């Protein structure tokens, strides 16, 4: 895929999502980049900030099977993966697939599900397959989970374990709308919900082409050295009790490759990595005391010199 063609497809997706999402350009691009990078995305913020709307708009913009899982404390793992049901007519067990068998899965308020149910997503997100009653079933590509999460201090929430947080290529916060954005939101909702009129603007084949194009973007030796330097600098900080894993370094490189496609480039710039360090790494870090991951990452990124611009 030539970068220009990729940029055109990505612009089409973003434009369609913005038919229902006012502003939030960075968050929309981050979510789309997560899809292109072949990862999964976690949207975090207060209820009512548009997390679910963004997830639905992105899913609708892409042709393919879409399923929504509304996570609640009584949700069972089999409600996600599916189970075998006895067919009295044939006197045999028949597997009924759960909502995880879709191209795009929205796990809404994922941290309201119990840890046992949350774990049902781990194998699917990490390996693109699920094992049910001893039988492993492969999920169709593309497979993309976009999950929303309420603040953990809210009633009825279960913090996501570190192993599950590590499966999300990036996390983003919606943030409150500006005054002008809030007025525009009210105007768009005056006569109905615009999400109902949204349709797909790219096909599953386009998404697979974008994901393959992402893998062909060059991240040169200087970029790889820069990423490793970031991880080592984070590991050296005394405030960090759980540093970024090597998987996070791979995800940072992959997200930067996806980001380059938006700009019509076939190579990664150091600024791509710098820009994506916070959304890719912050949600993976555990901190000591009142230290904030965003503050530590900001210090680390600011203190490391950028490598030369030449990539290959």
Count Cβ atoms below 10 Å from residue 286 Cβ, excluding itself.
13
pLDDT at 311: 45
Count Cβ atoms below 10 Å from residue 177 Cβ, excluding itself.
16
pLDDT at 312: 47
Is domain 217-304 in CATH 1.10.8.80, yes or no? yes
pLDDT tens digits, 117-167: 888 888 889 888 988 878 888 999 999 999 988 776 555 677 788 888 888
Architecture of domain 1-188 in CATH? 3-Layer(aba) Sandwich (3.40)
pLDDT at 133: 78
Domain ranges within the chain, ordered by starting residue: 1-188, 217-304
Low-confidence residues in the chain, pLDDT < 50: 311-312
CB contact at 8 A, 160 and 118: yes
pLDDT at 154: 58
- Annotate 222-261 with b (16+ C-beta within 10 A) or e (fewer): bbeebbeebbebbeebebbeebbeeebbebbbbbbbbbbb
């Amino acid at each position: 895929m030539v970068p220009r063609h990729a940029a055109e497809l990505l612009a089409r997706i973003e434009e369609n999502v913005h038919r229902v999402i006012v502003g939030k350009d960075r968050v929309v691009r981050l979510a789309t980049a997560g899809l292109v990078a072949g990862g999964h995305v976690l949207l975090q913020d207060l209820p009512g900030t548009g997390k679910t709307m963004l997830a639905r708009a992105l899913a609708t913009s892409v042709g393919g099977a879409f399923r929504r899982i509304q996570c609640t404390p009584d949700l069972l793992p089999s409600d996600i993966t599916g189970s075998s049901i006895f067919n009295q007519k044939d006197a045999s067990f028949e597997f009924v697939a759960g909502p995880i068998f879709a191209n795009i899965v929205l796990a809404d308020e994922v941290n309201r599900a119990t840890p046992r149910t949350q774990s049902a997503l781990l194998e699917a997100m990490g390996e693109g397959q699920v094992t049910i009653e001893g039988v492993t079933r492969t999920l169709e590509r593309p497979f993309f989970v976009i999950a929303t999460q309420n603040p953990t201090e809210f009633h009825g929430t279960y913090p996501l374990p570190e192993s599950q947080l590590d499966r999300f290529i990036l996390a983003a916060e919606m943030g409150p709308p500006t005054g002008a954005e809030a007025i525009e939101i009210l105007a768009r909702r005056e006569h109905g919900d615009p999400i109902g009129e949204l349709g797909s603007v790219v096909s599953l084949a386009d998404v697979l082409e974008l994901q393959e194009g992402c893998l062909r973007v060059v991240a040169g030796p200087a970029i790889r050295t820069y990423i490793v330097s970031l991880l080592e600098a984070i590991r050296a900080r005394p405030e960090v009790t759980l540093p970024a894993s090597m998987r996070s370094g791979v995800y940072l490189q992959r997200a930067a490759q996806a980001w380059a496609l938006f700009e019509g480039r076939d190579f990664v710039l150091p600024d791509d990595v710098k820009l994506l360090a916070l959304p890719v790494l912050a949600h993976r870090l555990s901190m000591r005391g009142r230290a904030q991951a965003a503050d530590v990452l900001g210090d680390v990124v600011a203190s490391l010199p950028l490598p030369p611009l030449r990539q290959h």
